[in-house]
Amino acid sequence: MTSQALNVPHADRFYIGGQWVEPSSEATFTVLNSATEEIVARVPQATEADADAAVQAARQAFDHGPWPRMTPAERAVYMDRIAERLEALNDDFARIWTTESGVLYKIAQPRVGQYLSGAFRQYSAMAHTYPFIKPVKSTSGHQGYQIQEPVGVSVAIVPWNGPAGLIAYKVAPALLAGCTVIIKSSPEAPCSGNLFAQICDEVGLPPGVVNAITADREVSESLVRNPGVDKITFTGSTAAGRRIGAVASERVARCTLELGGKSPALVLDDYDVEAAAKLLGTAYFSYLTGQVCASLTRIIVPRAKHDAMVDALVDAARGMVIGDPFDPATTMGPLASERQRDTVERMVAQGVAEGARLAVGGGRPKHLERGFFFEPTVFANVDNSSFIARNEFFGPVLSVIAADSEQHAIDMANDSIYGLNAAVFTHDAEHAMRVARQLRSGSVGHNASRYDFAIGFGGFKQSGIGREGGEGGLEAFLESKTVVLDQMAP
């Protein structure tokens, strides 16, 4: 396996108030290479005192600093500088992502920097197009204004599966809005947060506008409780999201929650199962080893095509090359951590115990002694009400479910606490639209998983609250103020 050195600026410090500061304790998190289990970094573990210091710095910058008082166009200048640095450090972000989370380097390296910079460039452009101040004639005839102002201090709680991308789509709209931000990175994948903080330092953001720490759940909860925090944006599990939402509601703090999914793919009668399997199997297993909340993991097919779909997915799984994610020949890398692999193993065992047929996979690859690897796995004859059909694996496991009719397929797709993503496979675009409109899901793709953060991403039901990306992502960091002047409108 390839051993890669990571570019982790100031790995022993936090970025608070425009300075790289020493942590308040000597406790650290150990960061492992997910493919080799080698230690690649040690980063400080934030205490509640460190979190409080970050909030104080962000609060000071918001209440008394220049950032919220700049025009959107002035803030956009900094955002364009950040975008340039993200592109310049593309390879550093790619290597961090591959090492920490297991994504294939050949997937990450060509595009991660452009994806990150794309978020900042999109919101920078909105500085000139979004109506932050809109004149409105009031019902009394007086001159009114609808003004969009920053919500305040925002905490961005970032997960371990795609930290850099989610930092971009949490921080870029917050900065355009005029908010100040505390990035809370996960212990498993903190290095992108440090690298992003270094960029903010380089481009000269005013002190306290962006702060970055790494902390566990207990300290994260202290941030959610902190009265100095106005807004929480979180990506992670539904269980954790429920807790954050409950704590935030105690003081009516604003929150955006992007949570779990158990997303369905409906393969309709007219679509070839082998063609669908290449997208639903090979593409799914390859991208982050299935560690994606929007993954299409419930494959719902006409009953007559169930066995053919299973066979095609089995062929796709057996064709995967599992190994070093830096090797160009590899088509599926490891899971991010031992804990995540253990979770997948337990869930697979429960699926077998419930009576689903394990068609392929289900264990650790025998040729790999180190690393958090797990075989691509397919379950057949899955009951839509079973544990494995209703709970998120966050790993390379697919379930094939037979439907008696198209309406039955739609009903089963919607019979879930989740509603994050879905897809409809059919050669008829109008038919795809009709089915898509019946699915209770934040995103629906035609013949592929086609969610798009540039338009807007988020879920129905327990897949979350609010949207990231697009105008909705900006509006999540704004408060609407109505001003009516003592003068008549023209």
For 244, other C-beta atoms within 10 Å of its C-beta total 24
Identity at 485, one-letter amino acid code: L
- Give me the mean pLDDT over the 227-250 stretch: 97
Distance between CA atoms of 315 and 80, rounded to whole angstroms? Answer: 46
Q: Running DSSP on this structure, what letter comes out for residue 472?
A: H
Q: Is the dihedral of CA 128, 131, 136, 142 positive or negative?
A: negative
| Burial (CB count within 10 angstroms: exposed 0-12, middle 13-18, buried 19+), residue 95 | buried
Give first-to-last CA distance, the chain, whole Å.
Answer: 71
Residue 258 known to be catalytic: yes
For 466, other C-beta atoms within 10 Å of its C-beta total 17
Q: Which residue has the tokens 């409809």?
A: 424
Nearest to 446 by CA among 426, 461, 460, 466: 426
Q: Running DSSP on this structure, what letter comes out for residue 102?
A: -
- Give me the mean pLDDT over the 462-472 stretch: 97
Q: Which residue has the tokens 């199962």?
A: 273
Residues of the chain with CATH 3.40.309.10: 263-452
Strand partners, 444: 422
Residues recorded for the chain: 490
- Give me the mean pLDDT over the 324-330 stretch: 97
Given pLDDT bands bounded at 50, 70 and 90, which one contains residue 268? very high
| Burial (CB count within 10 angstroms: exposed 0-12, middle 13-18, buried 19+), residue 473 | buried
| Burial (CB count within 10 angstroms: exposed 0-12, middle 13-18, buried 19+), residue 80 | middle
Asked if residues 23 and 48 have their Cβ atoms less than 8 Å apart, the reply is no
Question: Does residue 4 surpass a pLDDT of 80?
Answer: no
Six-digit token pair at 182?
Answer: 């505390």
Asked if residues 465 and 451 have their Cβ atoms less than 8 Å apart, the reply is no
Strand partners, 483: 145
Cβ neighbours of residue 144 under 8 Å, at least 6 residues apart? 135, 136, 137, 138, 482, 483, 484, 485, 489
Question: Does residue 304 surpass a pLDDT of 60?
Answer: yes
Q: Which of 100, 188, 221, 258 is catalytic?
A: 258
- What's the CATH fold of domain 14-259+463-482? Aldehyde Dehydrogenase; Chain A, domain 1 (3.40.605)
- Give me the mean pLDDT over the 112-136 stretch: 97
Question: Does residue 2 surpass a pLDDT of 70?
Answer: no
Strand partners, 234: 157, 257
pLDDT, averaged across the chain: 97
Distance between CA atoms of 449 and 298, rounded to whole angstroms? Answer: 13
R_g of the chain, CA atoms, integer Å? 23
* Alpha helices, DSSP H, located in 320-394: 338-354, 387-390
Asked if residues 126 and 229 have their Cβ atoms less than 8 Å apart, the reply is no
Six-digit token pair at 267?
Answer: 């393969």
Q: What is the pLDDT of residue 375?
A: 98
Question: Does residue 1 surpass a pLDDT of 70?
Answer: no
Six-digit token pair at 339?
Answer: 């804990």
Q: Are strands 397-403 and 296-302 parallel, antiparallel or unpaired?
A: parallel
pTM of the shown model: 0.96
- Give me the mean pLDDT over the 405-425 stretch: 98
Residues of the chain with CATH 3.40.605.10: 14-259+463-482
- Give me the mean pLDDT over the 246-264 stretch: 97
- Give me the mean pLDDT over the 294-314 stretch: 98
Residue 239's φ and ψ, nearest 5 degrees, are -60, -45
Identity at 246, one-letter amino acid code: A
**CATH class for the region spanning 263-452:** alpha beta
Residue 145's φ and ψ, nearest 5 degrees, are -140, 135
Cβ neighbours of residue 342 under 8 Å, at least 6 residues apart? none
Identity at 131, one-letter amino acid code: P
Given pLDDT bands bounded at 50, 70 and 90, which one contains residue 6? confident
| Burial (CB count within 10 angstroms: exposed 0-12, middle 13-18, buried 19+), residue 184 | buried
Distance between CA atoms of 6 and 144, rounded to whole angstroms? Answer: 54
The number of angstroms, rounded, from the C-alpha of 304 to the middle of its chain's C-alpha atoms is 36
Q: What is the pLDDT of residue 8?
A: 85
Nearest to 79 by CA among 214, 211, 178: 178
Given pLDDT bands bounded at 50, 70 and 90, which one contains residue 3? low
